[in-house]
């Protein structure tokens, strides 16, 4: 149906609404910014260094991500994947190749609603772009949800932490694939960082070396002091943040 409508009606840019969709050159320009380090304040325990490309607060990137994730704008997959590839390359630095890219797992409810695991799809696009640029990269969907989680949209930092704590585990057979490997965890967006921290906890427990996380966008919201011991939130123990990359 979407393809048929695109033939009949001019596609509009998800960022600005002009008839140059799914993303016009001006709006897509936000995705070609240099990668940079970002960190939420406060950061959850165990969060690795995180690279990102763009701000999620203001500008067109938020609308582009929503159009791709929630409205099936498949034409945005490649520009978003290219942005994520640059973020992964920056995060991996000079670590040994091949780079193992592990996407944060989407819940079954999210996959059914969207018709796909969009984070895993973006990870695949990023690995393709990395290989096209001459860097070796493999995608391993090593993570899965082991309990039901609530939709994190609208949750504050405390509720997100409680929602994510202990929610992820390894897929069957993934342990030997990640054991001893150098890993970059990817997600489309970092808000509080609890999803990336939870993914890092699981992978570290499987003896993977989590060098960094990589995202397309980051929010700039800041919160009060983060203490998982408050409000009854129990967060698994995690390795302290290390300055610089362990490889």
Residue 192 lies in a domain: yes
Higher pLDDT, 247 or 123: 123
pTM value is 0.81
Residue 6 lies in a domain: no
Residue 17 lies in a domain: no
Domain hosting residue 115, numbered range: 34-232
Nearest in space to 218 (alpha carbons), one of 243, 244, 241, 195: 195
Residue 210's domain is classified under what CATH number?
3.40.50
Residue 241 lies in a domain: no
**Residue 209: beta bridge partners?**
182
Residue 153 lies in a domain: yes
Residue 237 pLDDT > 70: no
Higher pLDDT, 107 or 183: 183
Q: Count how many domains the chain has.
A: 1
> What would the pLDDT profile of 131-162 be if each residue is shown by its tens digit?
999 999 999 999 998 866 656 555 555 556 55
Residue 194 lies in a domain: yes
Residue 79 lies in a domain: yes
Residue 42 lies in a domain: yes
């Amino acid at each position: 149906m979407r393809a048929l409508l695109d033939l009949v009606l001019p596609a509009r840019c998800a960022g600005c609404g002009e008839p140059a969709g799914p993303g016009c050159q001006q709006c897509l320009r936000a995705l070609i910014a240099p990668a940079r380090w970002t960190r939420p304040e406060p950061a959850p325990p165990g969060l690795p260094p995180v690279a990102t490309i763009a701000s999620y607060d203001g500008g067109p990137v938020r609308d582009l991500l929503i159009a791709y994730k929630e409205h099936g704008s498949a034409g945005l997959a490649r520009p978003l994947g290219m942005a994520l590839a640059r973020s992964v390359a920056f995060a991996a630095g000079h670590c040994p190749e091949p780079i193992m890219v592990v996407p944060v797992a989407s819940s079954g409810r999210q996959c059914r609603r969207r018709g796909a695991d969009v984070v895993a799809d973006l990870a695949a696009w990023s690995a393709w772009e990395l290989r096209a640029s001459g860097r070796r990269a493999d995608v391993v969907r090593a993570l899965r949800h082991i309990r039901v989680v609530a939709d994190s949209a609208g949750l504050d930092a405390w509720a997100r932490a409680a929602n994510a704590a202990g929610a992820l585990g390894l897929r069957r057979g993934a342990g030997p694939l990640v054991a001893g490997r150098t890993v970059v965890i990817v997600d489309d967006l970092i808000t509080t960082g609890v999803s990336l921290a939870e993914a890092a906890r699981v992978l570290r427990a499987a003896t993977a070396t989590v060098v960094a996380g990589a995202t397309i966008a980051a929010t700039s919201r800041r919160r009060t002091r983060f203490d998982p011991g408050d409000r009854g939130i129990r967060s698994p123990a995690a390795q302290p943040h290390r300055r610089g990359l362990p490889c």
